[in-house]
Each structure stands twice: as C-alpha cells, then as structure tokens.
Amino acid sequence: MTKNEALINYSLRIGDTCLILGQRMSEWCSNGPTLEEDIAMTNISLDLIGQARTMLTYAGEIEGKGRTEDDFAYKRNEREYFNSLLSERPNGHFGDTVARNFLQSAYFYHFYNALISSKDNMLSAHATKSIKEVTYHLRHSAEWVIRLGDGTSESKEKIQNSFDEIWDFVGDLFETNEVDRLLLNEGISVDQTKIQQEWNSTVTEVLTKAGLTRPNDGYMQTGRLEAKHSEYLGHLLAEMQFLQRAYPDAKW
Amino acid sequence: MSNIKDSQGDVWEVFVQSKPGLPHKHAGSVHATDKEMALQNARDLYTRRNEGTCIWVVPLNSIVSSLPEDSGSFFDPSDDKAYRHPTHYVMPEGAKHI
C-alpha cells in the first residue's frame, strides 16, 4: 500500500462518516420534537455534509482520476463505504438519536483535536475548521443526554436503553489497520489509542452527570475498515442515491 | 410577545448583539425548558447566518412591559416638547456626526 492509497482511504473514512450521519440527521427535517430542535438537527446535518464534501473532494484529488465529491457520494455501493457502523444506526426515537450523536460527536471532538497537528496540510486545515462545529454538536447532544438521564423516570429508562442497545457499535470507532500504522509513522494520522482514552473519559463524565450507567464493553461489532456494514446502510444509500441511480448524471 | 402556554417549554425572548460594543437587539423568541437549552436554541435559530457575536436569552415572564392603555400617559406628553430635541442650536461649520 502506498502513502497516497492510505491517505485516500483515511479521507474517505472521515468523509463517509460525516456524510452518512449527515444524511441520517437530515431525516429529522420536519420531524423534530419541537421547531427549535428540528432546526438544530438540520443545522447539524448541514455541518456534517459540509465536512463530508471537503473530505470526499480531497480523496478525489489525491486519487487523480477525476472523481468528484458527487461521484464518491452517489456512485459507490455499500461495500465501498468506510463510515463508522455507529453513524448508520437508524434515528429511532429522539433519545436514540441523541445517544448515537453524542457517542459519535465525542469521537469526532477528540479525533479532530488530534488531527489539527497532522503533517498533512489539508487534514490539519479540515480539522481546524471542523472542530468548532463538532464542539457544538458535542455540547448539544451532551446537554440532551444529561436532561433525558436526569429527567423523568420514563426519559431515563429510554435513554439508558438507547445506550445499552447501541453500545456494541462503539468498538468499531477505534479499530485500526495498516492504513493507520502507515500514516501514523508519517505523522499524518492520529493515535487511536489516545483518542479512545479521551473518548472514554468524556463519555463516562457525561453519563455520570446524567445519572446513567455506562454499558459494559462486551462483544463489539466491527466492519468499518473492511467496508462491511449493517443492513441499514443499503436502505440509507437507496434513498440518498435514488435520483442519481434513476436518472444518471441528471442536471438541473 | 405572547403568554400562550404550550407543550414545548417556556418562552424566552432572544436578544442578539451584531458586533461588540453595539446594543443587543430583540431578534425573536424560542421555546426551551431551561436557560442552557434556550441559549442553544437561540444560537440555532437566530445566528445561523453570521448575525451575532453575543446572545442574551430572557424568560418571557421576567420582562415587564408597558400596556397599550398606558401609551397615552406614557408617550403623548412628549409630542409637543420639541425643545427636548437639540435642534435649536446653531451648528459650527465643519462639525460632523451631530
């Protein structure tokens, strides 16, 4: 594997997770529990899709075969997507969405904070720009975790179940392979072990504040690095890619 | 401002400062159950397009407003007191921004 091949894959991992979570959040548009929350979630969706655009465009530039951000978003199948398994989880009820977003945002927060020091100028610039958005995503979701956990007995039970059900998918966030090792030697990628420690302390701190129980780390579902996904990604792509698939290269 | 109570939490009035040093201006209102959420909702609703550098949120019931029936006694008496405007002075030539 060459450095460029590794860098393309690394950029797709970031871009794909942003894109898929952004698409998930867009499903809340017009379905939010309150008007204010509807707009907040749609804002987060737009932030994430913006971040995805930068990373997918960058992957195309390094590849040098003329593939655009749209080619990456609309013309790849499930087994070519490198998003986290967490990001493709269905929205469920509001608490499910809050739990998923909190776990993924806490990851991005520590990931981008470390990526700012990357020797790759583009990744470093992307991290510097995105950290502001992600800091807000983390604040927004963490405040909701605390309110739902510390709310009524019903809200507490629901959000605890949300965390229990989604916990199998957090291990996938920290998996590494030769791409990580190659880029870490070059000072380009981040040390996932360090991210995991920081993520753990953020998650434990917020769950404790919310009066919730951190689920035990048991068997973890993985697959992100091999582009192996749950059954949900195919359905998400079917909706997201419908227009491109039905009317290839349609123009406004 | 309205006193209508619904299931979406309390009403908070939002004031946005567009630049440091300028006064906070009323932008609208949001629903929220507490002050931190009110601040976040205000940020999402009223500063998405670069409108602000600072936000205040104030619970609606903390605002004391004059009533429409007060307007006669409150505001009409100043109608005929033109001397309260500094329009009767002769401006020195070349003075700007007055």
Residues of B in contact with A143 (CB under 8 A): 36-37, 40
Phi, psi of A40 (to 5 degrees): -60, -45
A81-92 mean pLDDT: 98
Chain B residues 36-95 with CB within 8 Å of chain A: 36-37, 40-41, 43-45, 48
Residue A225 has pLDDT above 50, yes or no: yes
Mark yes or no for CB contact B45/A139 under 8 Å: no
- Beta carbons within 8 Å of A193's beta carbon, 6+ residues apart: A174
Structure confidence at residue B81 as a pLDDT band (50, 70, 90): confident
Question: Which residues on B lie below 8 Å from A43 (Cβ)?
Answer: 44, 48
Which residues in chain B are closer than 8 Å to A136, comparing Cβ atoms? 43
Contact A143 B44 (CB under 8 A): no
| Matching residue, tokens 């794909």 | A16
> Yes or no: is domain A3-214+224-246 CATH 2.60.120.620?
no
Question: Which residue among B31, B36, B40 sits closest to A34, beta carbon to beta carbon?
Answer: B31
- What's the pTM? 0.89
Q: What are the pLDDT digits (tens) for A140-193?
A: 999 999 999 999 999 999 999 999 999 999 999 999 999 999 999 999 999 999
pLDDT of residue B4: 55
Determine, for residues A35 and B37 on separate chains, whether the beta-carbon distance falls below 8 Å: no
Residue ranges of domains in chain B, CATH in brackets: 10-84 (3.10.20.520)
User: Cβ of B30 under 8 Å from any chain A Cβ?
Assistant: yes
Number of Cβ atoms within 10 Å of the Cβ of A110 = 22
pLDDT tens profile B55-66: 999 999 999 999
Inter-residue contact A84 to A17 (CB < 8 Å): yes
A235: part of which helix (H) or strand (E)?
helix A231-240
Closest CA to A179 of A46, A82, A73: A82
- Where along chain A do its domains lie? 3-214+224-246
